[in-house]
Amino acid sequence: MKRNPLVPYYLIMALGLVLVFFLGIKGLGDAKEIAKEKEGGGKEEVAAEFEPEEYANKACISCHGENLEGGSAPTLHGTGLSKEEVADILANGRGAMPPGLVPAENIEEMAEWVANLK
């Protein structure tokens, strides 16, 4: 008895068409969910509270050293700068310090923390 060599290809084609059909249906449902999230009706995000010390340990130690006592950039302990001066540096940069490393809404909090480092 001879077997038709095209049967496996027909089965694969049928499976592919069924798969495309069902994935298309699933995609339509996902598209509606994504649109709902864009409108703000999806899951609500809880904003994490900004912790200056945690942020400094992530973003500042690469230049200012592990204990913020100086590395390729100057020490942050006992700078003698006021909170306003530190906020200006964080917002606008100075020397090798680029602007915008700290999110704008957290500059005041970070500046106060840096100004009070001893």
pLDDT digits (tens, 9 = 90+) for 51-70: 888 888 888 888 888 888 88
Q: What is the pLDDT of residue 66?
A: 85
Three-point CA angle 49, 53, 56, nearest 5°: 105
Task: State the sign of the Cα–Cα–Cα–Cα dihedral 24, 28, 34, 38.
Answer: positive
Predicted TM-score of the model (pTM): 0.57
pLDDT digits (tens, 9 = 90+) for 2-56: 888 899 999 999 999 999 999 988 888 788 788 888 877 655 555 578 888 888 8
pLDDT > 90? residue 78: no
- What's the one-letter identity of residue 113? W
pLDDT > 60? residue 82: yes
Average pLDDT rounded to a whole number, residues 97-113: 89
Decide: helix, strand or coil at residue 94: strand
Q: Which residue has the tokens 């994504």?
A: 34
Report d(CA 73, CA 62) in Å as an integer.
9
Report d(CA 53, CA 57) in Å as an integer.
6
CATH topology of domain 52-115: Cytochrome Bc1 Complex; Chain D, domain 2 (1.10.760)
